[in-house]
Amino acid sequence: MEFQRLNEKKNIYEKGKSSIDKVTLSTYEKDFELTYTHNSTAIEGNTLTLMETKVILEDGISVGGKELREIYEVTNHRKAYSYVKECIAKGLELNENIVKDIHAILTENIIVGGIYRNQEVRITGAAHRPPSGSEMYVQIKNFYADMPYKKELNAIELAAWTHAEFVRIHPFIDGNGRTSRLLMNYQLMRNGFLPISIAKEDRLSYYNVLEDYAVNQNIEPFVDMIAELEEAQLDDYIRLIRV
């Protein structure tokens, strides 16, 4: 995928955004937030349907027969996404404090968030084994130290690296996937691109490209996945521009 083409589409969207009907734009953004929350939590095993997620988030109605944890996961995800947008509106670069805040919001009323693990963990079905103990702590500190110096990467590559490297390190006992997908979108939006949602139906392909990075340090398949999703998002929004 040519980054130049994505950049051109991003510029078309930025120039034409003001002509998009405000109500239409709001409904698109609201629909994305709902779909994104549903997909990101469902990838991690949340069993709420899209309609159940909508009822909880938009109508404030609880769903019977579901664990309280699942309801907190979707309400917390919306709060965390709102926090991401607030930080970007303030022009803040992604940093350790923001990452810990995102995780704490995501796991509120579930576990104590924003605290790095001291246990050893395994990722079910993955060949990659996350670092443990002091090694993990060194790697997560290097992750934050390296981030400002990734100038050779374009915005799509930076988003892919941020997500893939963070989830490879797996610094928290739980919620690493949801956190990393928010970090990916943080980097995209911080650089003027639209946020993307990885569909729960695509989780196998998604896990495979993350595994390729963790085991082989091959980031390209994940970059391609993000680029395709980003282009589809841009195309959808460009269609709304009134000439």
**C-alpha to C-alpha distance for 215 and 211, rounded to whole angstroms:** 6
Closest CA to 122 of 176, 161, 72, 69: 176
Q: Tell me the two tokens of residue 70.
A: 């699942």
170 belongs to the catalytic site: yes
**C-alpha to C-alpha distance for 84 and 25, rounded to whole angstroms:** 19
**C-alpha to C-alpha distance for 98 and 103, rounded to whole angstroms:** 9
> Between the CA of residue 122 and those of 8, 21, 49, 130, 132, what are the distances in Å?
41, 48, 28, 7, 10
The four Cα atoms 228, 179, 45, 64 give a dihedral, to 10 degrees, of -120
Given a contact cutoff of 8 angstroms between Cβ atoms, the answer to whether 224 and 232 are in contact is no
Q: Residues 77, 103, 163, 170: which is the catalytic one?
A: 170
Burial pattern 30-48, b for ≥16 Cβ within 10 A else e, equals: eebbbebbbbbbbbeebeb
Given a contact cutoff of 8 angstroms between Cβ atoms, the answer to whether 183 and 99 are in contact is yes
**Catalytic (active-site) positions:** 170
